[in-house]
Structure 1
Amino acid sequence: MTRAGATVLLVSHSHDEFGIERVADGLRRRGARPVRLNVDRFPRSLTLSTALGAGGVRRRLEDAGAGLSGEEISAVWLRRLWAPNLGEGIAEAYRAACVRESMAALTGWLRGLPARRWVNEPAAEDRAQDKLLQLATAAAAGLRIPETLVTNDAAEVRALFARLEGNVVAKMLTPFSMSLSGGAPFVFTRAVSAADLEALSGLRQSPMVFQERIPKARELRVAYVDGRCFPGALDASRYEAIAADWRHPDVVAAGVGWEQGALPRDVEARLGAFMRALGLVFGAIDLICTPDGEHVFLEVNPAGEWGMLERDLGLPIADALAEALLASTENP
């Protein structure tokens, strides 16, 4: 199949605009046909069907009267996979079960698509969500990582705090919440104080990540696309006294903006080895650059944000994603 014949499925949600529209434009300029699947409209407003029988497997998407066969899809971008939207009028006793059934139908439909190119392949993306696996894989690729402890044992936390002389931050292994409205609570990375050591009883309800606090000159968000690195940087001296997490509202309110970033070639090579080991074509990678110029790996989000880097710095990330999605559709 040639580029002009490629149909690319863009999986996201209705409130996602900047990045996905730029990738769609990049695909159109290359002669491909982007088709958007807003999963927050399933199962109420769009229809997915998987039929299995003597004739094989048939998959179909119906949206606003337009139909698409699964066999037409050459590539898939898993931009965002949100929980199905059941709307109102369903008894709460059945809501959780209906969400599970809808998600199982949706993910089963997606995983069975015969697309030859995925960004990212679902099994690889699921596996890469494991933050401990990320850190171990990064270290094996030659990247420096912070000393890390995941525990529900308060004594272990106190011992780490003493060994690192109080230079410890706390964070979650997974996002605390996921909301299209943006109004749900969110747990940011925060510095651990001596007073916090006396209030660790909550670990028995929810283990946490405790990590060495790395001195920062800059923090980098690197959009990695199929072997290419697009780095943006933040001047940590402008906000480290405010919060340990650049996503914190107080840091945003301070007007700290993205600047052009750069990576040494050896760091780029190690990031490439790390991403290949995880089987990821795309990821948003977070690094710290220390005052001594050393780069320290924090994590990768396989579906992380990059739009601010393209918008503020002009980095051609959307075009790189379009190219990556078409990389395997040049020839039959």
Structure 2
Amino acid sequence: MWWRKPTGHELPATMSGPERRFARGQAKRAVTALGALPGVLWVNRPQANVDCTKPVHLAAAVASGLRVPETLITNDPAAVPPFARRCGGRIVTKVLGGIVHTENGTRGQLYTRRVPEEQWDDPRIALTAHLFQREITDRVYEVRATVVGDRVLAAAIHAPAGHTRPDWRQDSDAFTHTAIRLPTPTEDGARVLTRRLGLVFAALDFLVDARGTHHLVDVNAGGQWAWIEPTREPITHALADVLQKGTARS
């Protein structure tokens, strides 16, 4: 079963609201129940995708031996200034879920951004949960590592000269990509992490600092891959191989 960005169930307009809600629930349960059949491999099991949130994957990454930046999740404005000072005054904030945001019919994206000192104790922090993270200020390049079964296919993402934004997705067309091999401990940790999360396919993002340390910053259970030319075909073939064999292991 290849489960990737499914659309909603289409139902007749003649059905009432309660009927539509009931029918959608029935259809959803019927599809996901296919996972109970013996020998069925999900790429990925829907519940595993739902459970792959930032707090979950960061904790799982640490348990898997990977390095993650210091992180604070809070709705207490008073908790942010001491955390920021422990991080040398350089912190970023990012959403806990997907970055796509729609308002008044306009689609936008909520990118990772730096938090200046005057916003550390902003009272609006109390309105909901926020994720703050130490900024890796000496990053040299970034890495997109795609795990397919037990294969790890990685590409370095190189910023153009003078680029200073904390989120490369704002200027993705200006970046260049090079196929690389992750250090063995990082590659092994990526495999352990995805198994711990119950994922067969996942896109992992790392920041690499001047000492060569790989800091995991994101896990996307439905990440895109065709935009990185050096790993596009190897990932496609690896995914097709897993689906054809019906097993995540080589």
Contact 2:159 2:176 in 1 (8 A): no
Q: Does 1:125 align with 2:46?
A: no
Quote how far apart the aligned CAs of 1:318 are: 1.1
> For the residues of structure 1 that align with 2:76 and 2:60, how far apart are their CA atoms?
25
- The within-5 A match list for 1:136-285 is 136-177=59-100, 183-197=106-120, 200-214=122-136, 215-236=138-159, 238=161, 240-241=163-164, 243-248=165-170, 251-252=171-172, 255-285=174-204
Shift of 1:98: 7.9
Could you state the TM-score of these two structures normalised by the residue count of structure 2?
0.85
| Distance in 1, Cα, partners of 2:129 & 2:57 | 18
Aligned-partner SS, 2:146: strand
Query: Is the deviation greater in 78-87 or in 268-277?
Result: 78-87
Counterpart for residue 26 of structure 1: none
- Measured at CA, do residues 231 and 327 of structure 1 come closer, stay the same or move farther in structure 2, by a change above 3 Å? same
Aligned-pair identity (%): 30
How far the C-alpha of 1:278 sits from its partner, in A, is 1.2
Please state whether the residue corresponding to 1:269 is helix, strand or coil: helix
Length-normalised TM-score, structure 1: 0.65
State the alpha-carbon separation in 2 of the partners of residues 300 and 173 from structure 1.
Answer: 11
Distance 1:79 1:269 in 2: 25
Could you say which residue in structure 1 is the equivalent of 2:29? 108
Determine if contact 2:143/2:208 at 8 Å carries over to the other structure: yes
Gap regions ≥5 residues in structure 2: none
User: Following the alignment from structure 1 to structure 2, what is the Cα–Cα distance between the partners of residues 216 and 102?
Assistant: 50
Backbone CA RMSD of aligned residues: 2.8
Higher-Rg member (1/2):
1
Structure 1 pair 171/82, CA: closer, same or farther in 2 (3 Å)?
farther
- In the other structure, the counterpart of 1:298 is 217
Cα distance in structure 2, aligned partners of 1:98 and 1:233 = 50
Residue 104 of structure 1: SS of its match in structure 2? helix
2:3 alignment partner, one of 52, 71, 78: 78
Confirm or deny: 8 A CA contact 1:226 1:281 kept in the other structure: yes
State how many pairs are aligned. Answer: 241
Change (3 A) 1:323 1:157: same
What's the secondary structure of 1:308's corresponding residue? coil
Listed one character per residue, the Cα deviations across residues 93-134 of structure 1 (whole Å, up to 9, x for unaligned) are x6xx7885565344213212236111012222222x221121
Distance in 2 between the 1:222 and 1:100 partners?
39
Contact kept? 2:57, 2:219, Cα under 8 Å = yes
In 2: Cα distance, 1:234 partner to 1:102 partner? 45
